[in-house]
Structure formats: C-alpha cells, structure tokens
Amino acid sequence: MSQTKADLVREVLGELFSLASGQAPNAEDTAWVEQRIEPALALLARKNVIYIADAGAIADEAFDPLVAYLAQVCGPKFGRPRDFAARQAAEEELRLVQRIGTGTGALLTVDPGLRRRHPRSLTGQI
C-alpha cells in the first residue's frame, strides 16, 4: 500500500502545527507545503538519498522519514528553527529504506559458458 501527496501534506502540517485529529489545515499552508514536495524529492534523488518517482504513491516505509524530512525543510516558513541534526537523521533513515537487501557477501563470478575465448588465451599467451 502507498500514501498519497495529500497524506504527506497533511502529516507534514500536522508535524509543524500539532493539528488535532480531524482538524483541517489552512489552504494557503497546504498549497505552500505541496509546492515544496517536488523540489525536496528532486534534491533527495540528486543527493542519492532516495528516489521517489511519484509523489502521489509514496511507499509506506518511506512515508514517516519523508514527513520528518519535509517538516525540517518547511519548518522555517512556519517559525520553527532549522534542526540540521533532525534533517540529517531523516535523510539517513531514507537511505536505509532505499537499500535493497544486504547481499550474500559472496564474490560475483561469470558463468563459464558466457566467457568469450580469445585464440591467444588457449596457448597461455595474452
């Protein structure tokens, strides 16, 4: 399952304003945060933190750290001081989400059937 851009905006504003459950955020604030999402996602991709192709379909595992990151990006507009440690922590968590598996640790090899034989390699001369 995935989260939408509207879910993301609502959660970021909730983080910034501590909105009560069911309370609707201001339309102007919603529009401002929504405009910041695409540039923030582009920056995260450029920094090789995480690539999210569609802001309308955010993977569940990336959602909470992305909310934390965007709250730090948008915070100064709403009177919150910049917290670079919190922003860095959110980026690190997004990097962990981006990783795919841990691997086996085994060395990669080439299937012998795929190796191209060079005529000189048969005589031991290269």
Q: Is the pLDDT of residue 12 over 70?
A: yes
- Give backbone dihedrals phi and psi of 24, rounded to 5 degrees, phi first: -90, 135
DSSP-assigned beta bridge partners for residue 59? 2
pLDDT in tens, 84-119: 999 999 999 999 988 765 666 677 787 777 777 665
Average pLDDT over residues 32-39: 95
Say what the pTM is: 0.74
Q: Is the pLDDT of residue 126 over 60?
A: no
Q: Is the pLDDT of residue 121 over 60?
A: no
Q: Which segment of 28-42, 44-58, 73-87, 103-117 scores lowest on mean pLDDT?
A: 103-117
Task: Report the distance separating Cα 105 and Cα 45, nearest Å.
Answer: 27
Task: Report the distance separating Cα 53 and Cα 91, nearest Å.
Answer: 17
Task: Report the distance separating Cα 35 and Cα 94, nearest Å.
Answer: 21
